[in-house]
Amino acid sequence: MKLDTKIVILLLIATITVTFSGCVEETKVAPEPESLDNYTTNISAVNLTLLPRMENGLEIRIVSFSSIYMRDNWDEEIQEWTYNISEMYYAAYNLSIKNNGSDVINFKVNDLHLRAGDQLFNTTTRKLYNSSMLEVLADLGNENRIEDTTLSLSPGQTMNGSVVFCVDSLYDRSFLLIYNATPVTSASFEESLEALEAAERFNYSVAFGVPPYRLHRYGDSYEPGRVRSFTWANWVNRSIFEFFKTADFETLQRSLPDNIPDTETMYAIRVMSERNLTVVSGNRLLVIDDFGEELINKSRSSGVAILRNQSYESQPEAIEMEEAIEIPQMTIPDATIVQISFEGVLGWDMSMRLSYNNQDTILDDELNIVLARYYDRKFIS
């Protein structure tokens, strides 16, 4: 049955509203170092089905996805700490791009966009902060970054690399990668977002056997009833990150003008989905996929937890003493890896709390956390 002619015409001339967008701060918009050409567009699901398809034979697969939050209160122009907090959000996609056709295909980075709600963002060449203390950011820094405007792919050729978008928020279900107006998605990637949400909501005290917070000189039983400067995170999930984000901001706002503290917060998450994993037995967390690729290879841990018979076996004590750990051989089909890194810095010279956390979590196809590892570092400067 044919659609009414008027309906078709209305769909084809649907209004598209365009506004500029960048990395958002609480008090101003942080400009891109390159020309600012990010834009936002209202795009409905119906409109997407009417837009042109990507070039015949071009296959784009999402290998991993990362969402990153960074903020500080350092003013580059008067070179001092201020009350103003600059906030930046990034989304990074590691892609596998393949030419399945019989002719050369030109992959154009400028045709790649990220839809987030009613906004559409271009890729950015801005470099992400790389820190050896934050494992997610360190891994992203080691990836091949796709920056060439146009890449020619011969028939059968595959290229891997990452693209980064400067966005307005951490990930949500509205995030949709688009190439030449065609969605780049799959059922496995949608499931990976479910695993990511499950990992961020999980109370890791159940698995690791330690509380979420540690108060300096007062043991590990601290539950935050009020803001204290020297409070560290033992492990991290979304609620722990949100607590420090809010608490450190409140401390900053209460400070006197001649005694403004340094505050830095970073939160980075990464997800790799639909992998048949093998956890190699030994004294480190070594995880490989069907092709023998090392997805996790970590020698340092503060705790490891393994799900057995619906309860967790944890090994925190030996890890704290930097002793060898014992990880059994495990096979986990259709698994998802979720990695989380967190940095919480607050204070003044010689009186500063520095909290660093890194976690690796493996979920099965039913979103059960079957293995988790955390590594935390706590300092006072």
CA 8 vs. chain centroid, Å, equals 40
Quote the CA–CA distance of 20 and 320 in Å, as a whole number.
49
Judging by DSSP bridges, how do beta strands 112-116 and 58-75 pair with one another? unpaired
pLDDT for the residue numbered 19: 35
pLDDT digits (tens, 9 = 90+) for 302-316: 899 999 888 998 875
If one counts every other C-beta atom within 10 angstroms of the C-beta of residue 76, the result is 7
The 10 Å CB-count burial string (b at 16+, else e) for 129-167 is bebeebbbbebbeeeebbeeeebebeeeeeeebbbbbbb
The residue type at 153: L
CA 247 vs. chain centroid, Å, equals 22
Quote the CA–CA distance of 116 and 358 in Å, as a whole number.
27
Which long-range contacts (C-beta less than 8 Å, at least 24 apart) are formed by 297-300? 298/135, 298/360, 298/373, 298/375, 300/375
Which parts of 13-111 fold into alpha helices (H)?
45-50
pLDDT for the residue numbered 49: 34
Q: What are the tokens at 173?
A: 């279900």
What's the pTM value of the predicted model, to 2 decimals?
Answer: 0.83
Q: Do the Cβ atoms of 361 and 340 come closer than 8 Å?
A: yes
pLDDT for the residue numbered 177: 94
Q: Do the Cβ atoms of 21 and 119 come closer than 8 Å?
A: yes
Which parts of the chain fold into alpha helices (H)?
5-12, 45-50, 135-142, 187-201, 205-208, 238-254, 316-320
pLDDT for the residue numbered 228: 56
Predicted confidence pLDDT, tens digits, the chain (381 residues): 433 433 333 333 333 333 334 454 333 333 333 333 333 443 333 233 333 345 678 999 999 999 999 999 999 888 999 999 999 999 999 999 999 999 999 999 999 999 998 899 999 998 888 888 999 999 999 889 998 788 899 999 999 999 999 999 999 888 999 998 889 977 777 788 899 999 999 999 999 988 888 876 555 455 555 555 578 899 999 999 999 999 899 989 999 999 999 999 999 999 998 889 999 998 889 999 998 899 999 988 889 999 988 899 887 554 444 555 688 899 999 999 999 999 999 998 888 889 999 999 999 999 999 999 999 998 887
97: left (phi over 0), alpha (psi -120 to 50) or beta: beta
Q: Is 73 helix (H, G, I), strand (E, B) or coil?
A: strand
If one counts every other C-beta atom within 10 angstroms of the C-beta of residue 120, the result is 22
The 10 Å CB-count burial string (b at 16+, else e) for 221-258 is ebeeeebebbbbbbbbbbebbebbbebbbebbeeeeee
Percent of the chain at pLDDT > 70 equals: 79
- With vertex at residue 259, the alpha carbon angle to CA 256 and CA 260, rounded to the nearest 5 degrees, is 85
For the chain, the straight-line distance linking the first and the last C-alpha, in angstroms and rounded, comes to: 72
User: In 3D, which of 189, 191, 190, 229 has the Cα closest to residue 213?
Assistant: 229
Q: What are the tokens at 306?
A: 């393994």
The owner of tokens 């080691």 is: 142
pLDDT for the residue numbered 241: 96
pLDDT for the residue numbered 341: 97
Q: Where exactly are the structural domains of the chain?
A: 5-185, 200-380
Q: What are the tokens at 344?
A: 């919480």
Q: What are the tokens at 366?
A: 């039913």
